[in-house]
Structure 1
Amino acid sequence: MARYRWSYPLEWLREHLDGLHTQDGELLSEAKELASQLDSDQIQDIYETDMDKDGYFTDLDAPDPDAEEDEETKTWTTATD
Structure 2
Amino acid sequence: MSWITESNRLKHFFYAIPCAMLLTILFVGGLAAGMEFKDRAYGGKWDWLDLLATILGGIVGQMLQVLIFYALKCVHQTHF
TM-score higher than 0.5: no
Which has the bigger relative contact order, CA under 8 A and spacing at least 6?
A: 2
TM-score normalised over the length of structure 2: 0.31
TM-score normalised over the length of structure 1: 0.31
